């Protein structure tokens, strides 16, 4: 991922304490936990993006795919910082990109991506991103 291209904007920063139980037999944060950290950042970003009366009532999100590139091993103790970037929204989806850091270390421990699809909660089908939400996506401001 390296440098962020112009079409990706920082939209959310989530800080999550690393728990002792997040580590595995190797003494490193288990690789599945990196996906949980990205998920938590995505859900917090969604809650800030979508009005409460709509979130999980009429509008929800699912992911079509998710990936993670592991660069360095995280260990307890520490606080994971997840930076969520959004790409240009499509019809019903938007690409999200993630950088995972620990404490004040500027070098990412991992980066990842997930394609977020907006869904109609009643029909359980993808739906066009509502205009008010699309506008917020296109003018992404950091929600830290």
Using alpha carbons, list the distances in angstroms from residue 116 to 42, 48, 76, 100, 103.
Answer: 9, 15, 30, 18, 27
Question: How far is Cα 23 from Cα 92, in angstroms, rounded to an integer?
Answer: 36
Res 42 pLDDT > 80: yes
Per-residue DSSP letter, 53: T
What pLDDT is recorded for position 2?
45
Question: How far is Cα 84 from Cα 94, in angstroms, rounded to an integer?
Answer: 12
Model pLDDT for residues 84-136, shown as the tens digit of each residue: 999 999 999 999 999 999 999 999 999 999 999 999 999 999 999 999 999 99
Instruction: List domains and CATH numbers for the chain.
Output: 9-138 (3.10.129.10)
Res 4 pLDDT > 60: no
Using alpha carbons, list the distances in angstroms from residue 57 to 18, 54, 127, 144.
Answer: 31, 5, 14, 24
């Amino acid at each position: 991922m390296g440098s962020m291209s112009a079409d990706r904007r920082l939209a959310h920063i989530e800080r999550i304490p690393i728990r002792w139980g997040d580590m595995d037999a190797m003494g490193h944060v288990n690789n599945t936990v990196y996906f949980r950290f990205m998920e938590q950042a995505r859900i917090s970003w969604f809650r800030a993006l979508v009005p409460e009366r709509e979130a999980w009532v009429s509008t929800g999100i699912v992911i079509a795919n998710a990936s993670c590139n592991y660069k360095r091993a995280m260990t307890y103790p520490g606080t994971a910082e997840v930076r969520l970037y959004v790409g240009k929204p499509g019809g019903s989806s938007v690409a999200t990109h993630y950088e995972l850091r620990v404490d004040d270390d500027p070098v990412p421990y991992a980066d990842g991506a997930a394609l977020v699809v907006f869904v109609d909660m009643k029909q359980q089908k993808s739906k066009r991103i509502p205009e008010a939400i699309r506008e917020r996506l296109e003018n992404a401001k950091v929600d830290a």
